[in-house]
Chains A and B, each alone.
Chain A
């Protein structure tokens, strides 16, 4: 894997505030990379620096090996940028909108015509070719804006909050579209604070807060680094007394750090053992006659990780 987007010690200061405070990123080719963070974490500023719309105060940023500060023109040719808030030109038809941006990239007329049709089909707007842009729904405008980022076949797509303001159906459609683009070889960098959306889509994430990367990598890797063990959730078919007895039994087993009873009747076990020890624990529980209904490792979600990482506060904590 090669890093196609890289930032090193990126800093952006505004009077009275630091939006990005030494941000380091390495994003490999072909990834769908999520920038996760609360509002004001520095996600949009970082993307705007990468898109050559902002000049960093210090530090370096490269896209496809090209410095965004030294050669912004070349960077603009290898990336497509979709801002979080964007408008549409009035009195323009859908095909004219794409035609305009294709002209901006100097794409010849013959190639433009074919490409516009392909792109409209890709974003499922083929039947809206002659509709006016301002008459499209928010979701359609979002897809059209995404299509405009593709007119020059860029290697990297920077999408700032691409699903904001979309209804659930439009979000699902957008997610499918992004997966399709990834299958076409694009590297996609998405910023969002809607964590479930990124969790299902991203191959890697960077958790950003206060302008710094607190954790970066695959969700499973971050989880592994964050936690000494795993959380097991066990559902036992028993009354309250039986549940309490089962909780006590689990609490006495090897590698079990903690066992607590959840309000929903499940027993949550902090377990330090590996997969073999987990298997042995289940076998022991069955042998002990506990009426086990479900026994599973609790899936950690991005939201949980995000809260944990931001609570720890520093990237060093997870390094």
Chain B
């Protein structure tokens, strides 16, 4: 090959003649590395920003959110039309409508999280392998934990945007009444914790597998097993226990089912949709199988006022054969006991999944029990010899 560079004073030295290098010894460099120590979690921001830049650039993300919100608003409008003109409804219908909005948004958002969190997170790390960018990332001093957290944060940011976009629609419940602010806060708290938990399962699958397709399938399978499989097992075991008179299955089987947690939040807020609380209470009493109870859930109580002793007064169709105008007797099962356990289960699951993902990222990046030595030369003598 021909060298096309003209020879001048600034030209590099000939190839076979070593140049004079800066008077920095390798040992000195080891103590004061050329790069800056980014800290164990400093790379989280770098990864997060890069992922968001990639994800939010272009029309795709905005089109998706627009379509999603249009569907939500459309559902709300259709429900409103089906229930009559909202400016003509009375206080009772208004409260019921407000609670209906709250309940619907909570369950829709739970479904959105279960459906989208694995999809958004299962490809985050495996795509680095597929796009052959993982080596570039691995050669940087970012820790594995920071990579996993940055990826998870990026995936959850977009999911959070989607879930957060539903808050104004859920807040319409306040316009109609029947739901308190704390109910909404509680509901979104459960959704956020669930989203982080399901997302961390997706990131774990993504780190454990180098291909996105198997990682996505695995993430959905694991999520389905945790959400549906465990709950289904609980129902089957409970039915068998009721038949055979044995002990009820452990309640923990239901902890990772976000629909159960959301149902409990809704139950606590509206005293309706309490099938989880009711099921658990009856399972504890061993009266009849929950599978049968689920078919036996009556209509939601509609409250029109406060009766004697501060008890809410239902307007129609009260459970347990009560009549209009009679003080509503709360059932023996009440909401609010179950969702904190569900939240706690996800809080425990999340760090386990994140740690597993960090450990699965690369064999050379695994955390070991032994402490790491400082950046000193390891072989005998100095690096200068």
A contact residues vs B (CB 8 Å cutoff): 1-4, 6, 8, 28-32, 48, 51-55, 60, 62, 64-67, 70-74, 76-81, 83, 85-92, 96, 100-101, 103-108, 145, 148, 152-155, 168, 171-172, 175-176, 179-180, 182-183, 185, 187, 196-197, 200-203, 218-220
B35 touches A105 (CB 8 A): yes
**Of residues A55, A76, A89, which shows the largest number of chain B Cβ atoms within 10 Å of its Cβ?**
A89
A182 touches B36 (CB 8 A): no
B131 touches A31 (CB 8 A): no
- Please judge, given known A-B contacts A105-B141, A182-B19, whether A145 and B27 are in contact too, CB under 8 Å: no
Q: Residues of B contacting A74 with CB < 8 Å?
A: 30, 33, 374-375
B141 touches A89 (CB 8 A): no
Q: Residues of B contacting A153 with CB < 8 Å?
A: 34-35
B34 touches A103 (CB 8 A): no
Does any Cβ of A come within 8 Å of B22's Cβ? yes
B132 touches A200 (CB 8 A): no
Kindly state the separation between the CA atoms of A187 and B18 in the bound complex, as whole angstroms.
10
A155 touches B34 (CB 8 A): yes
- Please judge, given known A-B contacts A60-B379, A81-B135, A88-B133, whether A100 and B46 are in contact too, CB under 8 Å: yes
Interface 9-residue window, one of B53-61, B114-122, B316-324:
B53-61
**Cβ-neighbour of A70 out of B21, B34, B362, B373 (below 8 A):** B373
Contacts between the two chains (Cβ within 8 Å), count: 212
**Cβ-neighbour of B26 out of A65, A172, A200 (below 8 A):** A65
Q: Residues of B contacting A66 with CB < 8 Å?
A: 30, 375-378
**Cβ-neighbour of A86 out of B5, B30, B39, B136 (below 8 A):** B136
Chain B, range 286-342, C-beta contacts under 8 Å to A: none
| CB closest residue in chain A, given B4 | A172
Does any Cβ of A come within 8 Å of B81's Cβ? no
**Chain A interface, >50% SS class:** mixed
**Cβ-neighbour of B379 out of A8, A145, A200 (below 8 A):** A8
- Please judge, given known A-B contacts A2-B25, A4-B26, whether A64 and B383 are in contact too, CB under 8 Å: yes
A220 touches B3 (CB 8 A): no
Kindly state the separation between the CA atoms of A232 and B168 in the bound complex, as whole angstroms.
88
Distance to closest chain B CB from A212 (angstroms): 20
Does any Cβ of A come within 8 Å of B138's Cβ? yes
Does any Cβ of A come within 8 Å of B182's Cβ? no
Chain B, range 1-33, C-beta contacts under 8 Å to A: 1-5, 11-13, 15-22, 24-27, 29-30, 33
Kindly state the separation between the CA atoms of A237 and B374 in the bound complex, as whole angstroms.
70
Does any Cβ of A come within 8 Å of B233's Cβ? no
A104 touches B142 (CB 8 A): yes
Kindly state the separation between the CA atoms of A171 and B3 in the bound complex, as whole angstroms.
11
Chain B, range 122-138, C-beta contacts under 8 Å to A: 131-133, 135-138
A145 touches B135 (CB 8 A): no
Distance to closest chain B CB from A99 (angstroms): 9
Give me 13 other A-B pairs in contact (C-beta within 8 A), A76-B141, A182-B19 excluded. A2-B25, A4-B26, A64-B26, A65-B383, A66-B376, A70-B372, A77-B36, A78-B35, A96-B53, A100-B50, A101-B136, A152-B36, A220-B16
Does any Cβ of A come within 8 Å of B38's Cβ? yes
A183 touches B12 (CB 8 A): yes
28 contacts between A and B (CB under 8 A): A4-B26, A30-B19, A30-B20, A51-B139, A53-B364, A62-B377, A64-B27, A65-B383, A66-B375, A66-B377, A70-B373, A71-B375, A72-B364, A73-B372, A76-B140, A78-B30, A81-B136, A81-B139, A87-B133, A104-B38, A105-B140, A154-B34, A179-B15, A182-B12, A182-B19, A200-B1, A218-B16, A219-B16
**Cβ-neighbour of A89 out of B45, B131, B140, B373 (below 8 A):** B131
B38 touches A106 (CB 8 A): yes
Kindly state the separation between the CA atoms of A6 and B385 in the bound complex, as whole angstroms.
12
